[in-house]
Chains A and B, each alone.
Chain A
Amino acid sequence: MSKIEINNIYKIFGPNPQQIMPMVKDGASKEQVMEETGHTVGLDNVSLSIEEGEIFVCMGLSGSGKSTLIRHINRLIDPTAGEVLVNNVDVCSLDEKEILEFRKKTMSMVFQRFGLFPHKTIIENVAYGLEIQEVPEDQRHEIAQGQIKAVGLEGFEHQYPAQLSGGMQQRVGLARALATNPEILLMDEAFSALDPLIRSEMQNQLVELQAKLKKTIVFITHDLDESLKLGDHIGILNGGRLVQVGKPEDIILNPADDYVKAFVKDVNRSKVLRARTIMTKLDKFDKSSVNPSSTYKYDEDTYIEDIVPKVLKDRSTIEVIDKEGMTTGFITSDELSVALTKTK
């Protein structure tokens, strides 16, 4: 059972969405529907499943429906058709009270422009989710204090959001989302408004936190590098349709269509591909040409950017080993050159 399961979701914006449904189901494109009826197709038959403890990155350009999709998971938006199962419960079947309870306990959200409350201090902001749950003040401030420490913002507790820089504000957003200890974290372009250095710092911080917390994270971004860096799985949306879902390597090596190809064209492959993906398996490799003195052992999860210098510098061969130390394959300059060649 997946943590979050999205089945055949449709979302149409406009005055009469139900009337347009048959047309969309028949496969009319977003532009066609817009022209003929004035309705906007937000999501068009999207199905996904997201496993517990993974970071699922949902990628697409503006208007591809990614922000709409994430808002279906906590039902800030109601779907026109389809169902969203979280922990095997259909979110759309919950009544008003249940949905509030569900949002309080199960998930929290981080926003692109932070969504902090400008009239509350940092600690009050972080404690907001707990305030809504009516946790007594000293208790919630204690928890909030812990989260503020975890994101490295000690000393700023009693300042207002506007007094902090963008990166710091988003840390507050992250701390606020984590303070309620939710099972699921929804991050809507959480780092897109930050400058590149801060962004990469925040990404590292998220990866670090995730290693400890093991939450289920749904992350929205329009930045492919970011999605490759963070995602255990990546879903690519185009015009409300889900074009491809897969592991970062799959997306790079086997782009499903021209849209995805255009996306991955300029990616630095050596930062995404791992030794395991590009090696030649042990049984298929001709060992006779290998000079044992210039063979280095690398873990199969190593990114190839760490291997490249070794191979190029002294023409050495890389022996790929798994967690138990068993050899699983080899990498030479041949494998590298194939892996690093751009798809046309």
Chain B
Amino acid sequence: MIRKLLTYFTFPIIFVWLLVVSYNSSKRKPDSAMELLTDPSWLYDWPKWLDIPLMKWINDGFKVFNEKYGIYFEVINDFLLGAILSLKKFLIVLPWPVVIALVVAIVFFSSGRKLGTTVFVGICTFFIGFLHPKFWDKAIETTSIMIIGILICIIIGIPLGIAMARNNKLRNAILPVLDLMQTIPSFCYLIPGIMLFGLGAVPAIIATVIYAVPPLVRLTDLGITLVDTEVIEAAEAFGASKRQKLLGVQLPLALPNIMQGINQCTMMALAMVVIASMIGTRGLGDEVLLGLQQLNVGKATEAGLAIVLLAIVLDRITQAYGKKIQDRNQPPK
């Protein structure tokens, strides 16, 4: 009973409190509160004092946060930067035919030895450099940022998805956060990213993770929830522990969905990498931006095509692997 009353009253109380706070903190409030009664003009135009000082709170909070915890972000920054640089150096040092051969080999085995897909992806990879030689290094730069970003997505996303599938309360708490992450414009978190990590690849990775992790979390959760209840019951009836159930039954059966999530994650990460070029991330997006600034349609299109080719390569690799698992789970009759 008391709980019910509390829920009825908390929201109005918080709302009134916010009104009072905004009135008190406003610089443009009327001289006295009595004026509101005598002069009703504030009813026609949105009054200037009726304004939550959210901007000020966030800026102040962020400043304190940055001063206090900046040191930790520097550690993260150094670590991520190190990871990207070493991956990039490794890929750039390799002769380009070797890289193409490597990609072809990966596709061949992950797709379950499908020749058509393999040849197609090989040609796409070749065409990235073929479009313009400098795209090759740029594409590798972009790919290294993405690989690190996707790895972080997997490390965060899959366990989170599993936890959500196990716990309904957690799911209800996380879902709105995922919605927020997907709808909030990327520039909003690019700015704090720059302030915490400086310009360059690291804020791009952070932005990529924020933008690309929700589909992976959702699809992991969905994949596990969709596993046939009777199959789960069968595992339970044989005395499988939670761990045995998860590793032996739920995850393998959710894998096609999880792979779809990783595929979505990859595509979104690629979209983000282009936007991130605006905060000084080098790579293919950087070329598009340059073309835009110089009104060079050809240049922008060339770079855009290169991005599409890269997208195709990455998409085929992740899709083919997911398809292979799905075929194993549901063999043709």
Contact = CB atoms under 8 A, between A and B. Distances in A.
A162 B234 contact: no
Interface in A23-60: none
26 contacts: A100-B240, A100-B241, A103-B236, A103-B239, A105-B239, A107-B237, A108-B238, A109-B238, A111-B233, A112-B230, A113-B230, A115-B228, A115-B231, A117-B234, A118-B253, A119-B329, A129-B239, A132-B240, A132-B244, A133-B239, A160-B328, A160-B331, A162-B330, A162-B333, A163-B331, A186-B237
A318 interface: no
Interface string B321-333: 0000000111101
Nearest to A130: B238
A72 interface: no
Q: How large is the interface on B (under 10, 10 to 19, 20 to 34, 35 or more residues)?
A: 20 to 34
B239 A111 contact: no
A104 interface: yes
Contact of A111 (B230, B240, B328, B330): B230
B236 A76 contact: yes
Nearest to A115: B234
Contacts of A162: 329-331, 333
A163 B234 CA distance: 20
A102 interface: yes
Contacts of A99: 239
A107 B331 CA distance: 31
A175 interface: no
Nearest to A161: B331
Given A117-B249, A133-B239, A160-B331, 13 more contacts: A74-B237, A104-B239, A108-B238, A109-B233, A113-B230, A115-B228, A115-B234, A116-B234, A118-B231, A119-B253, A119-B329, A132-B238, A163-B333
Contacts of B235: 117, 128, 132
B122 interface: no
A317 to B, nearest CB: 52
Name the 5 nearest CB pairs between A and B, nearest first. Answer: A104-B239, A115-B234, A103-B239, A109-B237, A115-B230
B331 to A, nearest CB: 5
A101 interface: yes
Nearest to A118: B329
B246 to A, nearest CB: 13
A68 interface: no
A180 interface: yes
Nearest to A131: B248
Interface in B262-300: none
Contacts of A100: 239-241
B330 to A, nearest CB: 6
Contacts of B333: 162-163
B304 interface: no
Given A115-B228, A115-B231, A108 B244 contact: no
Contacts of A131: 248
Nearest to A125: B234
Contact of B231 (A107, A117, A180): A117
A119 B328 contact: yes
A103 B331 contact: no
A109 B231 CA distance: 11
Contacts of A115: 228, 230-231, 233-234
Interface of A: 71, 74, 76, 99-105, 107-109, 111-119, 128-129, 131-133, 160, 162-163, 180, 186
B70 interface: no
A186 B248 CA distance: 23
A130 to B, nearest CB: 9
B252 interface: yes
A112 B237 CA distance: 14
A53 B322 CA distance: 47
B329 A108 contact: no
Contacts of B239: 99-105, 129, 132-133
Contacts of B234: 109, 111, 115-117, 128
Nearest to B330: A162
Interface in B219-266: 228, 230-231, 233-241, 244, 248-249, 252-253
A114 B231 CA distance: 8
Nearest to B249: A117
A275 to B, nearest CB: 40
Most buried by A among B238, B248, B249, B252: B238
Contacts of B249: 117
B230 A128 contact: no
A90 to B, nearest CB: 18
A276 B236 CA distance: 43
B1 to A, nearest CB: 15
Contacts of B237: 74, 76, 103, 107-109, 186
A59 B330 CA distance: 34
Contacts of B329: 118-119, 160, 162
A133 B252 CA distance: 20
A166 B230 CA distance: 15
Contact of A104 (B233, B238, B331): B238
B252 to A, nearest CB: 5
A109 B330 CA distance: 24
A94 to B, nearest CB: 12
Given A162-B333, A163-B331, A163-B333, A119 B252 contact: yes
A103 B238 contact: yes
A103 B241 CA distance: 11
Contacts of A112: 230
B283 to A, nearest CB: 38
Contacts of A71: 233
A86 B228 CA distance: 28
Contacts of B244: 132
